[in-house]
Amino acid sequence: MANNKPDNPDKFPALGRALLWVEKPGGVEKIVYTLYAVCAGLFVADFLYHKHSYLAIEDFPGFYALYGFFMCAALVICAKGMRLFLKRDETYYAPRDVESEPYPEDQLDKVDYDA
Amino acid sequence: MLDWLPTAFLFFLGAAILPLLPRGPARAVLLLAIPVIAAAQVYTLPLDDTLVRVTFFGFDLDLMRVDKLSRIFALIFCIAAFLGNLYAWHVKDPVQQVAALLYSGAAIGAVFAGDLITLFFYWEGTAISSVFLIWARRTEGAYFTGMRYLIIQIGSGVILLAGVVLMYVDTGSIAFQHMELGTPATWLIFIAFGMKCAFPLLHNWLQDAYPAATVTGTVILSAFTTKLAVYSLARGFAGTEILIYIGAIMTLFPIFYAVIENDLRRVLAYSLNNQLGFMVVGVGIGTELALNGTASHAFAHILYKALLFMSVGAVLFRTGTAKGSELGGLYKTMPLTMIFCVIGAASISAFPLFSGFVTKSLILSAAAHEHYYIIWGILLFASAGVFHHSGIKIPYFAFFAHDSGKRPKEAPWHMLWAMGLASFLCIAVGVYPAPLYALLPFEVDYQPYTTTHVITQLQLLFFSALAFTVLMRTGIYPPELKSVNLDFDWTYRRFLPRLIEAIGKPIGAAMQAWSDMMRDGLHAMIIRLYHSYGPQGRISQFWPTGTMVLWIGILLGVTLVVNYVS
Amino acid sequence: MSTETVHHTALTLADHLPALQVLVPFIAAPLIVLFGRRGIAWPIALASSATAFAVSILLLSRVIDGSVISYHMGGWEPPLGIEYRVDAANAFVLLLVSAMSTLVLLFARESVEAEVSARHHALFYSAYLLCLSGLLGVAITGDAFNVFVFLEISSLATYVLIAQGSERDKRALTASYDYLIMGTIGATFFVIGIGFLYMATGTLNMADIADRISEQGSNRTIRAGFAFIVVGVGLKVAMYPLHSWLPNAYTYAPSMVTAFLAATATKVAIYVLLRFVFTVFDPGFLFEFNTLGYIILPLAIVAMFAASFIAVFQSDFKRMLAYSSVGQIGYILLGIAMLSQTGLTAAIVHLFNHGITKAALFMAVGAFVLTAKGSFYNDIQGLGRRMPLTSAAVVVGGLSLIGVPGTAGFVSKWLLVEAALENGWWPVALLVVASSLLAVIYVWRVLEVLYMQPTPDGSTVQEAPMSMLAPMWIAALACVYFGLDTDVTLTAAATAAEGLLAGSTGLQ
């Protein structure tokens, strides 16, 4: 239900209002820099405690961090590559598929936030 | 309490009573009461292999094998049924209500089955009852999807039955016990379990059907069928090495699909498949630690997966779509749903203090303990990947990302309660795992909260999030697009029909020509016969008398020859 | 009635049960004609059929332990006189026939009112009772020629009954005529076969023939007799490919006639086949072994598939069921061809279970014909909501036809698979399962028509009357009951199979 009415943030639920800062200019940056800081901190933490490990490779400083980062990057890039071969139109299997049909309205309860 | 009554019958009784009650709250209350009574019964049952034994057709059927393994699955099934029914409080459709009761009852019955025949009955029961949750959407696409689902589920049952019959012929026993792969019987049973467990290449029914069910139906569906299969594997094939590799592949390939999938409920279906992989690896390793891991992970998984399906379902309920490309910015008006979704996401990603953390690590530790290092590496990768697509992608594209302009109202109260309860359980298990550990099949000697474990896990997760952020900000991350991604189901939804059509056309034409020729020839013969023997030849063209007389003659001749020759 | 004809010894009424079994309906038939009032025809028919049912229960209870009752008609000693001989096998068939007849008669009143013209009612019920007594006679008699006589009595009555469908559809006349030609040829073959046996042994009493055959061994005359009897009875059984009279006859006959014939007539014919193959001839003979193995077995398997395939493509519910019957007869013949205790038990149980299943389904067809004026899929589409009870009976019957666990059909198919595995016939067991999938398809089509398609606009169809629903549901519930409690059917069938497999010694 794309809303044509002008937004009225005052009527959003309190919790929703409290989170509106993420959309303000610089809001996203705040989150991103916090993430960078946490990541840096966690990387450094690896040098500060005695690691109990099963495998030699786990002792490599920042192993989990690097593994997580690079594997995820690889995952996304591979998946993006798969799209080249696998992506089809939404109506590919229609009509024997739910992908292209709207969800039956009578089973829904679409209500606007200020209704 | 109620020792003599199989737990499943409680649900069936409920399903029988439900249509007699007036529509509205009375039915909804019944739907909630049944799982509560069942859970209380299960919790208080004595551990006994032959609690309810009936004789059927000369076989002793054990309807209630209560031991620690079956009890924990039955308990979580009761909890899932309760949460699902609470979430579906608003549903007035008796078909869905009855189907939900029958389905959860059949799943619990199967878990308690002490013999393969009982297991088969309930196995088919789950198949038949659950399809109504898909058909209840009442659209053409849902009908066909349900059909595909039903065929595969029933197929699994038929294969199971074949295996059971062979097993009985081989061994003379129908007990449902540990089996060793090797005979055709055990292989058939193994494949039947594998179909329901969504083994790679047998998995498509899951991603096909779950997003097609109703808002509430998907929540119910997500809990039972696959976990029943995991239980059956744990009961029958614990320590079967091939399962380790099957499970590893299962954790791996769905995450690729999940990244590029647009329908968020299908993303969750892929990640469900990936989580099953962890459990299957646990069953394959088969040590006490690994089986504890499988059981506990199934327990935690049902909760957070239901929670995730509930939150996406609530979005669907309020906006009419669950597609990433259509959503975004909903945090403003559905903040509670968003928070519950994040809790589910944190649980599935195994953040410390959330349920996945204390259960998944049992399986990873078991893999490392038994020196399956490559498997361990794959599982680690899959853990990072699951955070990536379920942990970040689902909440991000539904509630944040670009503003879709949709401003739906917060989910209705009963959905919020259901999500809230599930969230509470997810956190409770994560913070204080001792009660869950106490329910596990074997003694638990495991401490999840060590400095090493917490820090390494946080590193893994935060750097995955970092990868997501970097790719998102550099524009490399694939956008959500309205699309269908081909999976293995393409073979039977597209390739085989096309192939059959291609082969069938010329063969059909040839057959037609051949049968025309035969018919014409036969006709000519009959007409000649009748022309010489009687005037009623005209009748025989439309009525079979002539043909039959011919057949009698032929048959008599053949019989005489056989008799004389022998 | 028969007590008056037997004076020479002081027998109690109970000793005359075998004669009463046949005579009650046989004498009631002309009584109906004598009274000539159509109001009274149905009660008389029902009462005599119910009496026959009661008699058959008493008879079965006496022989279920494996004993045999031998009754000498008119006090004449066999082999000169005609002997009625009751053992577990035919007592079971008698029970099926008389039970189904009673059930169908309960159902029949409204259905006959609607489908048969009023001036024929008395004669219709009279023909029905003749058919019933013929079938009972075939089952009970121990005399080979007497089998032929009763077979003809029932067949002639059947032709008349089928022709009564002409009120609704003139093609019933052609169907009846067609069956008449075929049935007569079959009966002729049968009597030729008996002639050969008489030539070879000089007796017509089955036990006697069996004795002499086992004494003198096989010769060409006996072999020829066997071939003629198998083919002749095979036609009555509707053994594929001698089945083509059946679909037309079942489709165009009045509904209650179809229900009755489907549940009993072919079953009695199968009993005759069993009796001759296993008791009169010795299954130890190589020629018999070969006939079963090389002719009946492949034909049975072809029937399972071919008839089911045809059923899948029908657009008339009644005709679909008729073809399904041909396929189901394939299962029974398969059980017989296995030549083993389990196989034979499976055949006999399936004979019974399929009887009640088809009775329920054809009665539902009768209800549809009464209320919706037709049984084509487009006549009955969307009736699941308008006729919930009838449709639910179709569901139960359909499940039993498929062989879903918990229904009677499952019990017999399970036994059949077990028998095939016992013989080490893996492929056959798989084929049984595979052909059941075809049943899934044709049953599913009906259920889809009933439940998933919309009711045509302006339809005023109402649920069938209670008098039809009650017997239909008795049969449907019997499908479930005999699927859960298998004691009665399995014990009776196993005893019967044992008796039959004992060969001619079983007659002593």
Q: Is the pLDDT of residue C506 over 80?
A: no
Please state whether the peptide bond connecting residue B184 to the residue before it is cis, i.e. omega within 30 degrees of 0.
Answer: no
Q: Is the pTM of this model over 0.80?
A: no
Of C186, C244, C286, the CB nearest to B547: C244
Domain that holds residue B24: 1-214
Show the tokens assigned to B425.
Answer: 């359980």
Examine the pLDDT at A93 and tell me if it is beyond 90.
no
As to burial, measured by CB atoms within 10 angstroms (0-12 exposed, 13-18 middle, 19+ buried), residue B59 is middle
Chains that touch B (3 or more CB pairs under 8 A): A, C
Taking 3-state DSSP, the helix, strand and coil percentages for chain B, each rounded to the nearest 5, stand at: 75, 5, 20
CB C300 within 8 A of CB C327: no
Using DSSP bridges, classify how beta strands B53-56 and A87-88 pair: parallel, antiparallel or unpaired: unpaired
Tell me what pLDDT residue A109 has. 87
HSE-CB of C252 using CA atoms within 13 angstroms:
24
d(CA C38, CA B249): 77
Neighbours of chain C (3+ CB pairs under 8 A): B
Same domain? B254 vs B209: no
Mean pLDDT, residues B452-456: 90
Provide the pLDDT for residue B538. 39
Q: Are B236 and B177 in contact (CB under 8 A)?
A: yes
Q: How confident is the model at residue B15 (pLDDT cuts 50, 70, 90)?
A: very high
**In the predicted model, is pLDDT for residue C7 greater than 70?**
no
Whether B269 and B311 map to the same domain: the answer is yes
Do C23 and C106 meet the contact criterion of CB atoms below 8 Å apart?
A: no
B555 reaches C (C-beta below 8 A) = yes
Distance from CA of B57 to the nearest CA of C (A): 7
Cβ atoms of C83 and C142 within 8 Å: the answer is yes
Q: Is A27 helix (H, G, I), strand (E, B) or coil?
A: helix
Cβ <8 Å between B555 and C182:
no
Given pLDDT bands bounded at 50, 70 and 90, which one contains residue C505? very low
Inter-chain contact C234–B555, Cβ cutoff 8 Å? yes
- The CA-atom distances, in angstroms, between C495 and each of C137, C419, C443, C484, C492 are 21, 16, 33, 20, 5
Chain B hits for A41, Cβ within 8 Å: none
Contacts of residue C225, Cβ cutoff 8 Å, sequence gap at least 6: C193, C194, C195, C196, C197, C200
Boundary residue ending a domain (B214, B229, B261): B214
C204-256 pLDDT, tens digit per residue, is: 888 888 888 888 887 888 888 999 999 999 999 988 888 888 888 999 999 99
Q: Which residue of B has its CA nearest to A103?
A: B320
C-alpha to C-alpha distance for B309 and B317, rounded to whole angstroms: 12
Report yes or no on B529 lying in a domain.
yes
B136/A106 Cα distance (integer angstroms)? 12
ipTM: 0.93
Model confidence pLDDT, tens digit, residues C468-500: 999 999 999 999 999 888 888 888 888 888 888
- Residue C220 has what pLDDT? 85
Instruction: Provide the pLDDT confidence category of residue B539 given band limits of 50, 70 and 90.
Output: very low
- Give B221-244 pLDDT, tens digit per residue: 999 999 999 999 999 999 999 999
Which residues in chain C have their CB less than 8 angstroms from residue B558's CB? 295
pLDDT number for residue C280? 86
**Pair (B531, B434) in one structural domain:** no
**DSSP secondary-structure letter at B354?**
S
The reply to whether omega before C79 is within 30° of 0 (cis) is: yes
Task: Report residue B507's pLDDT band, with 50, 70 and 90 as the boundaries.
Answer: confident
Position with higher pLDDT, B48 vs C358: C358
For the segment C390-398, the average pLDDT, to the nearest whole number, is 93
CB contact under 8 A, A35 and B321: no
Residue that is written with structure tokens 């995991």 in the block = B230
Distance (Å) from the alpha carbon of C494 to chain B's nearest alpha carbon: 14
| DSSP letter assigned to residue B183 | B
**Residue C504's pLDDT band (cuts 50, 70, 90):** very low
For residue C437, the one-letter residue type is L
Interface test with B, best of A19, A48, A99 (most B CBs within 10 A): A99
All residues of chain C having their beta carbon less than 8 Å from the beta carbon of residue B165 are 417-418, 421
Mutate to test the interface with B, among C223, C342, C453 (most CBs of B within 10 A): C223
Facing A111 at nearest CB: one of B409, B467, B484: B409
3-state secondary structure C139-192: HHECEHHHHHHHHHHHHHHHHHHHHHHHHCCCHHHHHHHHHHHHHHHHHHHHHH
Tokens 């039947």 sit at which residue? Answer: B192
Reported as a pLDDT band with limits 50, 70 and 90, residue A86 is confident
Element (H, E) at C218: none
Span B533-557, average pLDDT: 62
Q: Tell me whether residue B498 is in a domain.
A: yes
pLDDT value for B531: 58
Q: Is the pLDDT of residue B389 over 80?
A: yes
For residue C433, which residues of chain B lie inside 8 Å, CB to CB?
158, 162
pLDDT score of C195 more than 90 = yes
CA distance C497 to C476: 26
Binned at pLDDT 50, 70 and 90, residue B123 comes out as very high
Residues C303-355 have pLDDT tens digits of: 888 888 888 777 889 989 999 999 999 999 999 998 888 999 999 999 999 99
B564 min Cα distance to partner chain C (Å): 7
Q: For residue B529, name the pLDDT band (cuts at 50, 70, 90).
A: low
Residue B85 has pLDDT above 80, yes or no: yes
- Mean pLDDT of all residues in chain C? 87
For the packed helices C121-140 and C255-274, what is the interaxial angle rounded to 10 degrees? 20
3-state secondary structure of B530: helix
pLDDT in tens, A9-62: 888 888 888 888 888 888 888 999 999 999 999 988 888 887 777 777 888 888
Rounded Cα gap, residues C471 and C111, in angstroms:
12
* Among the partner residues B335, B455, B473, nearest to A45 by beta-carbon distance: B455
**Residue B318 shares a structural domain with residue B460:** yes
Q: Which of B457, B321, B435 is closest to B383 using CA atoms?
A: B457
- The residue whose two tokens read 């038990």 is C345
- Which sequence spans correspond to the domains of chain A? 12-101
Q: Nearest C-alpha of chain C: how many angstroms from B561?
A: 9
Q: Specify the pLDDT at position C393.
A: 93
C295 and B555 in contact by Cβ < 8 A?
Answer: yes
Question: For A49, which of B214, B451, B481 is closest by C-beta distance?
Answer: B451
Rounded mean pLDDT of B412-420?
Answer: 95
Is A54 near chain B, with CB under 8 Å? yes
What percentage of chain C has pLDDT greater than the value 70? 97
* A–C touching, 3+ CB–CB pairs within 8 Å: no
Give the pLDDT confidence score for residue C4 in this predicted structure. Answer: 45
Query: Given a cut of 80, is residue B367 above it in pLDDT?
Result: yes
SS3 per residue for B225-290: HHHHHHHHHHHHHCCCHHHHHHHHHHHHHHHHHHHHCCEHHHHHHHHHHHHHHHHHHHHHHCCHHH
pLDDT at position B101 over 90: yes
Judge: C227–B552 Cβ closer than 8 Å, yes or no.
no
Q: Do B467 and B527 share a domain, yes or no?
A: no
Burial of C462 (0-12, 13-18, 19+ CB in 10 A): exposed
| B198 and B112 fall within a common domain | yes
What is the rounded average pLDDT of the residues C113-137?
91
**Looking at per-residue confidence, does B525 or C440 come out higher?**
C440
- State percent of chain C over pLDDT 90: 42
pLDDT of residue A62: 85
Task: Give the confidence band of B543 by pLDDT, cuts at 50, 70, 90.
Answer: low
The whole-number average pLDDT for the span C23-38 is 89
Cβ contact C298:B558 at 8 Å: no
Write the single-letter amino acid at C203. Answer: T
- Whether C498 and C343 have beta carbons less than 8 Å apart is answered as no
Q: Tell how strand B484-485 and strand A87-88 pair up.
A: antiparallel
For C58, the token pair is 């008493």
Q: Classify B543 as helix, strand or coil.
A: coil
- Please indicate, yes or no, whether residues B191 and B252 belong to a single structural domain of this protein: no
Confidence of residue B542 (pLDDT cuts 50, 70, 90): very low
CB atoms within 10 A of CB C80: 11
Q: Do C245 and B558 touch (CB under 8 A)?
A: no
Q: How confident is the model at residue C168 (pLDDT cuts 50, 70, 90)?
A: confident
Specify the pairing of strand C83-86 against strand C69-72: antiparallel
Q: Does B549 touch chain C (CB under 8 A)?
A: yes
Residue B219 covered by a domain: no
| Residue that has been written with the tokens 């179709």 in this structure | C394
Contact B89, B107 (CB under 8 A): no
Amino acid C9: pLDDT: 56
* pLDDT for residue B520 is more than 60: yes
Give the pLDDT score at B527: 65
Averaged pLDDT, C173-188: 90
Q: Do B409 and B541 have their domain in common? A: no
C420-C421-C422 Cα angle (round to 5): 90
C88-112 average pLDDT score: 91
Half-sphere exposure of B346 (CA within 13 A, CB side): 21
- A44 near B CB under 8 A: no
Q: Give backbone dihedrals phi and psi of C117, rounded to 5 degrees, phi first.
A: -70, 145
Of the candidates B169, B539, B562, the beta carbon closest to that of C291 is on B562
Chain A residues inside the 8 Å CB shell of B207: none
Looking at the structure, tell me whether residues B477 and B504 fall in a common domain: no
Compute and round to an integer the Cα radius of gyration of chain C: 22
Chains B and A touch (3+ CB pairs under 8 A): yes
User: How confident is the model at residue B535, as a pLDDT?
Assistant: 38
Are C224 and B562 in contact (CB < 8 Å)? no
B119 and B5, same domain (yes or no)? yes
Residue B228 belongs to a domain:
no
Residues of chain C contacting B, Cβ within 8 Å? 174, 178, 181-182, 185-186, 189, 220, 223-224, 226-228, 230-231, 234-235, 241-242, 244-245, 248, 286-287, 289-291, 294-295, 405, 411, 414, 417-418, 421, 433, 484, 486
Task: Report which of C231, C227, C229, C247 is spatially closest to residue C239, judged by C-alpha positions.
Answer: C231
Counted domains in chain B: 3
- Point out the domain boundary residue: B452, B481, B510: B481
Nearest residue of chain B to residue C422 (CA atoms): B169
Q: Contact A16/B332, CB-based, under 8 Å?
A: yes
CA-based nearest residue to B545, from C418, C177, C436: C177
Question: Any CB–CB contact under 8 A between B559 and chain C?
Answer: yes
DSSP assignment letter at A9? G
Do B134 and B244 sit in the same domain of this protein? no
N- to C-terminal Cα separation, chain C: 29
> Which residues in chain B have their CB less than 8 angstroms from residue C182's CB?
545, 548-549
What pLDDT is attached to residue A95? 81
Q: Which residues contact A12 (CB under 8 A, 6 or more apart)?
A: A20, A113, B332, B333
Q: Which pLDDT value is given to residue B269?
A: 95
